[in-house]
């Protein structure tokens, strides 16, 4: 965790300017969730808050958003950008969310999963906080192959975003993956929280 915080602390101030063309991709990813006004969302690993405005647009004034991140400098940047007016911002670990069970209608995880040492535990925690029938979006504003290049490795079937591995991890954690769009402009996996009965 300390290494992650150091990595993102060093990049926080320039995060938005590094990827200036990504904003529409976040908006389209949130739109793909078809969220109801008044719904509850958790933006895990929210960084500088690039998903916050689209989430607020989808949920309306009655919706509730909790945006958490492990790196205070990323949250400080989100606050500086004004996102604190649209969401609660909190320092927290994506594996221990400060949220009651089944509170959320959706978890949005942008750019996060490959950074986690224990993605299985994260998916389990996100399943805890999402009500049955609720949704999960695992999003990157670029393809899996382009992300692998950015992270200096070749894509492999062992990657957490590889379709087979992600589907297996999600199934074990209580999610059913309904679609994976791995295209030039985005990687977006959508999953539905299974009910306990459906899991039997």
Ligand X SMILES: C[S@@+](CC[C@H](N)C(=O)[O-])C[C@H]1O[C@@H](n2cnc3c(N)ncnc32)[C@H](O)[C@@H]1O
Task: Give the interface with ligand X as residue ranges (CB under 6 A).
Answer: 4, 8, 45-47, 50, 69-71, 74, 93-95, 110-112, 115-116
CA distance readout (Å), 77 to 15, 69, 90? 9, 11, 12
Q: What are phi and psi of 143, to 5 degrees?
A: -70, 165
CB of 102 to ligand X, least distance (A): 21
Helix runs in the chain, H state only: 2-11, 15-18, 23-32, 52-59, 72-80, 119-129, 144-150, 163-173, 196-199
CB of 196 to ligand X, least distance (A): 26
CB of 198 to ligand X, least distance (A): 28
Kindly tell me which of 55 and 95 has the beta carbon lying closer to ligand X: 95
Kindly tell me which of 120 and 132 has the beta carbon lying closer to ligand X: 120
**26: nearest Cα among 12, 38, 14, 41:** 41
Closest residue to ligand X, judged by C-beta, is 47
CB of 145 to ligand X, least distance (A): 17
Q: What are phi and psi of 82, to 5 degrees?
A: 100, 5
d(CA 179, CA 192): 10
Kindly tell me which of 71 and 194 has the beta carbon lying closer to ligand X: 71
DSSP 165: H
C-beta neighbour count of 40 within 10 angstroms? 20
CB of 93 to ligand X, least distance (A): 5
């Amino acid at each position: 965790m300390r290494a992650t915080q150091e990595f993102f602390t060093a990049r926080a101030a320039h995060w938005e300017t590094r990827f200036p063309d990504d904003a529409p991709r976040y908006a389209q990813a949130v739109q793909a969730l078809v969220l109801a006004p008044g719904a509850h969302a958790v933006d895990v690993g929210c960084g500088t808050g690039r998903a916050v405005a689209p989430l607020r647009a989808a949920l309306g004034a009655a919706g509730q958003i909790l945006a958490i991140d492990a790196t205070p400098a990323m949250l400080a940047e989100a606050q500086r950008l004004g996102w604190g007016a649209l969401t609660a911002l909190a320092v927290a670990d994506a594996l221990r969310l400060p949220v009651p069970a089944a509170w959320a209608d959706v978890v949005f995880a942008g750019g996060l999963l490959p950074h986690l040492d224990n993605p299985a535990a994260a998916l389990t925690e996100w399943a805890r906080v999402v009500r049955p029938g609720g949704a999960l979006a695992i999003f990157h504003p670029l393809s899996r192959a382009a992300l692998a290049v950015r992270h200096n490795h070749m894509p492999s079937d062992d990657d957490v975003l590889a379709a087979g591995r992600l589907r297996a991890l999600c199934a074990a954690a209580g999610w059913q993956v309904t679609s994976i769009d791995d295209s030039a402009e985005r990687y977006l996996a959508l999953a539905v929280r299974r009910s306990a009965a459906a899991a039997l």
